[in-house]
Amino acid sequence: METSSKSNIRVLMFPWLAYSHIHAFLELAKKLSKRNFYIYLCSTPANLAYIKEKEPSVEFVELHLPSLPELPPHYHTTKGLPRHLLSNLMEALDMSSCSFSGILTALKPDLLISDFLQPWAPAKALSLKIPTVLFMVSAAMPYCFLLDLVKISGSTALPLRSNYPHEYDYENDNLTLQDRLLQCLEGSSNLMLIRSLRELEGKYVDELSALAMKKIVLVGPLVQELSEDENEKTEIIEWLNKKDPCSVLFVSFGSECYLSREDREELAHGLLLSNVSFIWVLRFPQGEKISAEEALPEGLVEMVGEKGLFIEDWAPQKRILDHPSIGGFLSHCGWGSIMESMKTGVPIIAMPMHVDQPCNAKLLQEVGVALEIKREQNGKLGREEVAKVVREVVVEERGEQVRRKVRELRERIRGEEDDDMDEVVNELVKLCGREANKPL
The residues annotated as belonging to the active site are: 21, 115
Can you say whether residue 62 is alpha, beta or left, with left for phi > 0 and alpha for psi between -120 and 50 degrees? beta
> Burial, 106: exposed, middle or buried (Cβ in 10 Å; 0-12, 13-18, 19+)?
exposed
Three-state SS string across 262-311, please?
Answer: HHHHHHHHHHHHHCCEEEEEECCCCCCCCCHHHHCCCCHHHHHHHHEEEE
Rounded to the nearest 10 degrees, the angle between the axes of helix 140-150 and helix 198-212 is 30
Residue 216 to residue 147: CA distance in whole angstroms? 15
Contact 205, 198 (CB under 8 A): yes
CB-based burial label for 37 (10 Å; 0-12, 13-18, 19+): buried
Q: State how far the Cα of 361 lies from the Cα of 369, in Å rounded to an integer.
A: 10
Is the Cα torsion angle 378, 381, 387, 390 positive or negative in sign? positive
Residue 12 near residue 325 (C-beta atoms within 8 A): no
Beta bridge partners of 280: 251, 310
- Residue pair 16/355 in contact by the 8 Å Cβ criterion: no
Question: Are the CB atoms for 252 and 331 separated by under 8 Å?
Answer: yes
Please tell me the distance from the alpha carbon of residue 380 to that of residue 94, in angstroms, as a whole number: 37
| 354 Cβ contact list (under 8 Å, min separation 6) | 257
Dihedral of CA 206/149/222/32: which sign? positive
**Nearest Cα to Cα of residue 310 among 270, 277, 343:** 277
Give every CB contact of residue 134 below 8 A, 6+ residues apart in sequence: 113, 114, 115, 116, 122, 184, 185, 188, 192, 193, 214
What's the Rg (C-alpha) of the chain? 22
